[in-house]
Structure 1
Amino acid sequence: MSHRVVSAYATLRVPNDLGQEVLVGFYENAILPAGVNRDDLDRHVRKGMVVKESATEPERKPAPASQPPGVPNGRSSREDWAAYATTKGAPAEETKAVDEGGLSRDDLRAKYGS
């Protein structure tokens, strides 16, 4: 049975390639991978942050683009930072791909991460 994150963000322990448990953050509507720490999963289900997926449950739609995302964490992708910078009024030339002259992830984070 798969589980879906229904809160804005949830952090759970998941095994990495070496079999060690590491903390991984999941955003709303993420389907959790197999192997999530059972105690973490049970706690998040009790708190209402994660729900079991059922075959009959309708597909959840992501939040409309008009709602700005929260500030990405320091390890978020460049694309997440570009999307966030756009909500903060960044010009298109700063958020386009780096190989097209846009700012790097670290530059976007420094300028718009406040």
Structure 2
Amino acid sequence: MGYKVTSAYATLRVPNDLGQETLVGFYEGAVLPENVNRDDLKRHLRKSMVEKVKDEPAPKPEKQPEQGAVPNGRSSREDWATYATTKGAPAEETKPVEEGGLSRDDLRAKYGG
């Protein structure tokens, strides 16, 4: 079972990479990591700020190209948009083509080097 934030915002302690607890804020709907401080979790449950939910798959991290790694010519438009973002492309150019963004070929021509 996992836990999900039901209030607008909740702050809980979570261990950082050094093993020290750090305060982390979570917005409504966020699924809490398994390693949150148990005392904080119990307090938030009592206050109905957090609820127990069925296991939800953890969100997949967004695919980020290595800094400076140019996608190949056959890479997807999404890969080229992500790469263009690392090169300073404005959001208008990297948004979906249907919303007025540049095509894969245009992004490749402009930011491919």
- Which TM-score applies when normalising by structure 1? 0.49
| TM superposition score normalised by structure 2 | 0.49
Quick check: which has more Rg, 1 or 2?
2
